Chain A
Amino acid sequence: MAAKPKKSNMDSKKRNLIAEYNPKSVASEQYRTIRTNIQFSAIDEDIRTITVSSSSPGEGKSTTAANLAIVFAQQGKKVLLVDADMRKPTVHFTFNMMNTIGLTTVLTRQSELDKTANQTDIENLDILSSGPIPPNPSELLSSRVMNRFFDTAKNMYDLIIFDTPPVLAVTDAQVLSHQCDGTILVVRAGIADKDKVTKAKEAIVSAKAKILGVVLNDKKMKSNDEYYYYGNN
């Protein structure tokens, strides 16, 4: 029963994790630029926890979160990428792992973080998938157990990056950004609505969270913008 290989799937996974599979690409260089900007954005305190969100779905949160996690890990930091998007969890697909245990089972004390986080082929990078999705995910994120999670995770990792649902869809991202040292807003060029981005920013600020910056995604480059890169991918 030799089914034809599903080449396209594997390719899209590799494309998503470009910082790992093609570290010399322009996109990977951009992720490293974001990394440096994040590190320089805080002067007297280290950024240890980051929320990655956007105003609307499909702007590239998960891709950005995964690649940022990779470039930080490549720098030698011990990184945990957490799938806190309980509305549309995708991290376990990207890293090809099972999702039977994860963030939700840690929060409900059915498993311990050190036994739940998955090691990846990428040195220094661990992944915590979402875990089974409860009917009331927001309650879990704002609960006291979340504080405990932050304490445990910070003891084990230098940096924790949260992939979250869109800010305007549910309150999850607001709740998390409030608890994190900083928030990154991903904005997709040509797709994102200006008013919605402003609203998302206001929502984050009103949650007393700190916006580290905005990642403009999918911006079409003019061909002469990249003339000094040796290669176009």
Chain B
Amino acid sequence: MIDIHCHILYGVDDGPQNETETLALLHQAIEDGVTDIIATPHHRNRHFINEKKDVLILVDKVNSLAQENRLSITIHPGQEVRIYGEIAEDYARDEILNLAGKTNYVLVELPSSQVPAYTERVLYEMQVAGLIPIIAHPERNSAIMEDPGKLYSLINQGALSQVTAASIAGDFGKKIQKFSIELVEHQLAHFIASDAHDTRHRGFAMKRAQKAIESAHGHDFGVFENADRLLKGHSLQLNPPMEMKTKGFWSKLLNR
């Protein structure tokens, strides 16, 4: 299984702080069936700046760490870029990393409580520059939860999205679980990834997520295969997004 969103590098963000913690996460990843991790440290989210050149160095270090410990898992470079006005320009300036360091995909994080007005413009400019934005964990954005139409229009305009395995598995509660599965059903989410930070509270839940979605539908909508295709550089299997019904007064009242 391929994990396209994971805070596996140590000492760079709110993920592991040292080699020991990274090793523990790597062990957990392997147990969860993960063979490849795209390391996506936070970039430009007010607290952390992790430019391309720094990420590349640390990815090499963690790969050697894995080899020294005879772990059969490969780390690829990446970033989780907080949305800002100049992503496309900074990509051209070689500060922004695409996923795995070789694809056209860039993982973009929105603020947790809103979809800024400039989002469409920024995602459009990224696409004009030949990049495909993948919106990280839309299921945890409160403005999108309130109005899924906001995500629909971004997907309609060519962005993709990634929901977090733990959300699908139900670790953040029933409401987020239900919403995440609905996003996948409506072709509004195209990947499932761990977004793992530590082994205790925000670990891997890939197998449990797969179980949850398969038990609900009998198949997984290709969300795991898409990650595999992304890493191999193959084109993804995508379908047109479907609009989600905004909740009416009564269902809001009943589903609180």
Contact = CB atoms under 8 A, between A and B. Distances in A.
User: Residue among B127, B156, B158 with the most chain A CB within 10 A?
Assistant: B158
A110 interface: yes
Nearest to B33: A1
B228 interface: yes
Nearest to A93: B240
Contact of A108 (B128, B132, B228): B128
A3 B156 contact: no
A90 B127 contact: no
B128 A110 contact: yes
Contacts of A97: 235
Contacts of A134: 124
B237 A100 contact: no
A93 B238 contact: yes
A1 B158 contact: no
A202 B44 CA distance: 52
Nearest to A6: B222
A88 B156 CA distance: 6
A133 to B, nearest CB: 4
Interface in B233-249: 235, 237-240
Interface residues of A, number: 23
Given A132-B127, A132-B157, A135-B124, A6 B237 contact: yes
Contacts, number: 58
Given A9-B237, A133-B158, A3 B224 contact: yes
Interface string A90-109: 10010011111100010010
Contacts of A222: none
Interface string A1-44: 10110100100000000000000000000000000000000000
Contact of B124 (A1, A93, A132): A132
B220 interface: yes
Contacts of A60: none
Interface in B74-104: 104
Nearest to A97: B235
Which secondary structure dominates where chain B touches chain A?
A: loop
Given A4-B218, A6-B219, A100-B127, A135 B120 contact: yes
Interface string A108-134: 101000000000000000000000111
B252 to A, nearest CB: 26
B239 A4 contact: no
A93 B158 contact: no
Interface string B97-122: 00000001000000000000000110
A9 B214 CA distance: 16
A98 B235 contact: yes
B221 interface: yes
A89 interface: yes
Interface in B209-237: 210, 214, 218-222, 224-225, 228, 235, 237
A141 B104 CA distance: 27
B1 interface: yes
Contact of A99 (B158, B210, B214, B224): B158
Contacts of A133: 124, 156-158
B11 interface: no
A132 B225 CA distance: 24
A6 B187 CA distance: 13
B128 A132 contact: yes
Contacts of A108: 128
20 contacts: A1-B210, A1-B224, A1-B225, A3-B222, A3-B225, A4-B219, A6-B219, A6-B221, A9-B237, A89-B156, A93-B240, A96-B237, A100-B127, A100-B130, A100-B132, A100-B158, A132-B127, A132-B128, A132-B158, A133-B124
Interface of A: 1, 3-4, 6, 9, 87-90, 93, 96-101, 105, 108, 110, 132-135
Q: Can you list the 9 inter-chain pairs with the closest CB atoms, starting with the nearest?
A: A132-B127, A133-B157, A4-B219, A93-B240, A3-B220, A90-B240, A1-B1, A3-B225, A6-B222
